[in-house]
Amino acid sequence: MAQEHNHIISTIVENKPGVLYTVSNLFRRRGFNIDNISVGPAEETGLARMTIMVRGDDRTIEQVVKQLNKLIDVIKVTRLNPEHIVTRELALIKVNAPNTKARSDITNYAEIFRARVVDVSSESLMMEITGTSEKIDAFIGLMKPFGIREVARTGITALSRGAKSIKVDE
């Protein structure tokens, strides 16, 4: 049986209503769970870049890429090589901070991880952190003993390293 692992697919799509639904519906029909997805306007007006992380074997993901390429609103589809990309994720993490010691410890951890405190209340602190998913997972692990109230994560976004670009005209 083929080995399943995470794949990152970058797509350039029309930036209009219904495109996200159409793309996610393709994954649903094929029985795949999208582990995370991020979408935002691309460098060209009217287009959006969609970064999708999905788990599966190489052969199956190849079929998904072919199916994505057949969708009318999808302009370009590229499987990103994990060894040649930069990935980032953003997270907001709200933790209990009931006393001075807890606030001090949380702030020290935040400094080490280059997180920023973005909200303070009498009972909690909220941090913003960017980086790889592994870095964010590690930071969340350190925050658990304080009591995590809420976590919101964007999902990864990725670009190829160096001069290579995923462009419509290539």
Digit-coded pLDDT (tens) for 118-136: 999 999 999 999 999 999 9
Digit-coded pLDDT (tens) for 68-89: 999 999 999 999 988 888 999 9
Domains 5-80 and 86-157 fall in the same CATH topology: yes
Global pTM reads: 0.81
CA distances from 44 to 15, 37, 41, 79, 116 (A): 10, 20, 8, 20, 31
Nearest-5° Cα angle at 66, 81 to 25:
100
How far apart (Å, rounded) are the C-alpha atoms in residues 75 and 134? 31
Digit-coded pLDDT (tens) for 9-67: 999 999 999 999 999 999 888 888 898 999 999 989 999 999 999 988 888 888 889 99
Nearest-5° Cα angle at 80, 59 to 127:
120
Q: 170 pLDDT exceeds 90? A: no
Domain boundaries, given as residue ranges, for the chain: 5-80, 86-157
How far apart (Å, rounded) are the C-alpha atoms in residues 133 and 145? 20
Tell me whether strands 116-120 and 5-14 are parallel, antiparallel or unpaired: unpaired
Which two tokens mark 47?
A: 């287009």
- Provide the CATH number for the domain formed by 86-157 in this structure: 3.30.70.1150
Looking at 3.30.365.10, 2.160.10.10, 1.25.40.10, 3.30.70.260, the CATH number of the domain 5-80 comes to 3.30.70.260
Cα-trace Rg, the chain: 19
